[in-house]
Structure 1
Amino acid sequence: MVWNVASTSSYQFNLFSRQNVQRTSLELQRAGQEVSTGRKADIYADLGPRSTSVMRLRASEADNQTFMQSNDVLGNKLQAMLTTIDSARDRLQGVLQTAIANVATPQNGAAVLQDQAKSALESVISTLNTSFNGDHLFAGLQSDTPPLVRWSEINATTGLSPEDAMTSIFGGGPVDAASATAIADQIDQAFASNDTGNPARNYEATFYNGSPELDGGGQPTKQVNAWVNNGQEVVYGARANDEPFREAIKGLAMLAVTDVSQMDEAAYSTWMNRVVDALSSAQEGMLGVSARVGFNQQVVETTQSQLTDLSLVRRTQISDYESVDPYEAITRMQSLETQLQASYQVSSRLSGLSILNFLR
């Protein structure tokens, strides 16, 4: 019978011991990391094929967070729009009340209507020129430019101010009901941007600098929109050339261009009725715009709530994949500490052994 006796040199034994200590140290470091973070140190190695699910969940959650951040900004933007419209309506209401009180005859403050209208006009224009994060809210897609030109400010494109355009149409003013109707009709054409005789007087030429209502082919231009979720779009734009805002500027401009208290009686009645119609239509229309903005706010808030709930579910799923059992991790770390201490003790004892100790 042949006996094979395997022998291990001291060098090999020391090498094996060092490798064991190194391996145990790395495992202890990994266990310590898992205890401190609560997550697997090498997620994809631990999960194997299931790591694909984690990658998909993380990608979906990243998209989710992007939508949530943009929706926060959009919600604040919509609130700014709503506040702006309500402020313009309040300013318009004061002029409308005075105009209604004087619609038949100039008796209750008609003499100050011109100054009141000019003040309201400046306020409404300034309000509708409001910007949010550098974007003018009522300029449509051309949000880098204030949409409205101030009453006495020259529009660089036409060389006219809104006051110049209105004065050109108003001329010497109406002398009777028929001429008041004719002038008011010309103003209606200009504010509908249909003044073919002098296009420079049109609303979208001198008064307004934002996105036009129609493109070159006569089709409605695109409104401002935002994606609030995958496959969910919100069209929320409101422009200063929308009919309610045009009617507001028109009604105020008809009062600002002249002292109505000095008009002929028949012309005055016709003129003031057209003014009241324009301002009343503006008030009603702006209320409708506010309702639309408020509805969009509700859509964004509902979507944001859904995204928040979905984010919670996804983060829980990700945590289920990536988290470690803290008790198991601590137990494993303590076991590795004990193992490493034993390895150190063995190495220390072996390093003290020498054949010379037995040859004395």
Structure 2
Amino acid sequence: MSWLSTRISTYQINYYMRSSVSENTLALQRAGQELSTGRRADMFGDLGPRAGVAITMRAREENTQSYLDANNVLENKLEAMLSAIETVRDPVEEVLQAAIVNKESASTGAFAIQAQARAALETLTGTLNISFNGEFLFSGTTSNAAALNRWDTADTTTGLSPEAIMAAIVGGGPATTGDAATMLAEIDQVFDGTHATAGYNFEESFYNGTPELDGLGAPNDRIAGRIDHDQQLVYGVQANDQAFRDVIKGLAILASVDIQDIADEDTYRDWMDGAVEALASGTQGMLSTSSNLGFNQQVVDKAKERLEDISMVQRKQIGTYENIDPYEVATEMSSLETQLQASYSVSSRLSGLTILDWYR
């Protein structure tokens, strides 16, 4: 009869125990990491081919969050633009009301209308030159330049200020109805861009932003934002829009002449008619602009709600792949700790054995 005897050295046992302790320690560290973060430490190892789905969903969620962040910024920009227009409307309407009261003849408050119009121009210019995150909101795509020149500030290109242009056209003011008609017609040409004199153009000496038309006569692009992957919102409001041109024209007519100096009644009425008509058209246009901005705010708000709903669903789906069951991991940690304690105990006992123990 033969006997098969297998002998394992204490070195082999120690080596095995060290390897087991190392593996269990790494597993315990991984379990601790998962329990603290709530996510799988090795998603590829745990999920295998399904990890690709989780990565794709994570990319979609990051894209959704980028749109949400952009929409938050856009929402603030729209609010700033709407607030600016509302701020401008008050002083303009005050000038319009004063002009209407004095439309037929200079009466109550006529002496203050010129100064009031100049003050409104300063308010309008300063307000429409508002910037947000370093971008001038009413300059169109040319967002690095302030939208409007101040009344007495010369344009850097033409060397002409709005005040200088109006003074050259109006001089001491109209003396006859013919003068009033000629001056008002020339002022119209300044604001519609058809004046023959170089620099006597609203978009050259009053306004610094993106022109209404390009070199070929086609409308220039407006500021737009993509509020979702398949939805773009054109929201740009510019200081050269017709509403603002009309307001500035009406204020300029009143700011350039002291209406008390117009002696002829018919001339006075014609001059005031030109100012009131421009201001009334401009205030109505600004009201429409405010309404459009309010509508755009609603569009952005609805887009945000939709994206937040999508994000909630995506995060839930991602969680089913990436998140761990904390109770399961806690149980695994407890088991690993028990195994480690047993391994340490055996290792400690083996380390205390010597050849003398065999002879006993």
TM-score range, shorter chain: over 0.9
Match of 1:328 in 2: 328
Asked if 1:23 is matched to 2:23, the reply is yes
Partners of 2:5 and 2:131 in 1: CA distance: 89
Match of 1:47 in 2: 47
Provide the aligned length of Structure 1 versus Structure 2: 359
Match of 2:169 in 1: 169
> Do the aligned residues in 2 keep the contact of 1:166 with 1:201 (CA within 8 Å)?
no
Match of 1:9 in 2: 9
TM-score of the pair, normalised by structure 2: 0.96
Letter in 2 for 1:290: S
Partners of 1:341 and 1:172 in 2: CA distance: 102
- Paired residues for 1:41-190 under 5 Å: 41-190=41-190
Partners of 1:137 and 1:357 in 2: CA distance: 89
Query: Can you list the C-alpha shifts for 1:196-241, whole angstroms capped at 9, x where unaligned?
Result: 2x03111111111111111000011111111111121111111110
Shift of 1:189: 0.9
Q: For structure 1, which runs of at least 5 residues remain unmatched after alignment?
A: none
Letter in 2 for 1:98: A
Partners of 1:323 and 1:274 in 2: CA distance: 71
Match of 1:215 in 2: 214
Give the SS at the match of 1:199: coil
Shift of 1:172: 4.2
RMSD: 1.4
> Do the aligned residues in 2 keep the contact of 1:213 with 1:241 (CA within 8 Å)?
yes
Query: Can you list the C-alpha shifts for 1:141-173, whole angstroms capped at 9, x where unaligned?
Result: 111111111111111211111011011111343
Letter in 2 for 1:252: L
Match of 1:283 in 2: 283
> Do the aligned residues in 1 keep the contact of 2:247 with 2:282 (CA within 8 Å)?
yes
Query: Can you list the C-alpha shifts for 1:28-50, whole angstroms capped at 9, x where unaligned?
Result: 22122222222212112101111
> Do the aligned residues in 2 keep the contact of 1:223 with 1:235 (CA within 8 Å)?
yes
Letter in 1 for 2:138: F
Match of 2:204 in 1: 205
Of residues 77-86 and 125-134 in structure 1, the stretch that sits farther from structure 2 once superposed is: 125-134
- Paired residues for 1:246-261 under 5 Å: 246-261=245-260
Match of 1:236 in 2: 235
Shift of 1:116: 1.0
Letter in 2 for 1:152: D
Match of 1:354 in 2: 354
Give the SS at the match of 1:261: helix
> Do the aligned residues in 1 keep the contact of 2:115 with 2:255 (CA within 8 Å)?
yes
Letter in 2 for 1:63: N
Letter in 1 for 2:215: G
Partners of 2:33 and 2:122 in 1: CA distance: 64
Match of 2:338 in 1: 338
> Do the aligned residues in 1 keep the contact of 2:10 with 2:350 (CA within 8 Å)?
no
> Do the aligned residues in 2 keep the contact of 1:186 with 1:195 (CA within 8 Å)?
yes
> Do the aligned residues in 2 keep the contact of 1:191 with 1:246 (CA within 8 Å)?
yes
Letter in 2 for 1:121: L
Partners of 1:100 and 1:272 in 2: CA distance: 8
Partners of 1:160 and 1:104 in 2: CA distance: 33
Partners of 1:29 and 1:152 in 2: CA distance: 72
Query: Can you list the C-alpha shifts for 1:113-132, whole angstroms capped at 9, x where unaligned?
Result: 11111111111111111111
Partners of 2:149 and 2:33 in 1: CA distance: 63
Give the SS at the match of 1:240: coil
Partners of 1:359 and 1:206 in 2: CA distance: 110
Query: Can you list the C-alpha shifts for 1:297-346, whole angstroms capped at 9, x where unaligned?
Result: 11111111111121121111111111111111111111111111111111
Asked if 1:268 is matched to 2:268, the reply is yes
> Do the aligned residues in 2 keep the contact of 1:129 with 1:148 (CA within 8 Å)?
yes
Partners of 1:105 and 1:97 in 2: CA distance: 14
Give the SS at the match of 1:200: coil
Q: For structure 2, which runs of at least 5 residues remain unmatched after alignment?
A: none
Letter in 1 for 2:77: K
Shift of 1:353: 2.4
Match of 1:227 in 2: 226
Give the SS at the match of 2:225: strand
Letter in 2 for 1:224: I
> Do the aligned residues in 2 keep the contact of 1:252 with 1:279 (CA within 8 Å)?
yes
Shift of 1:64: 1.3
Shift of 1:12: 1.5
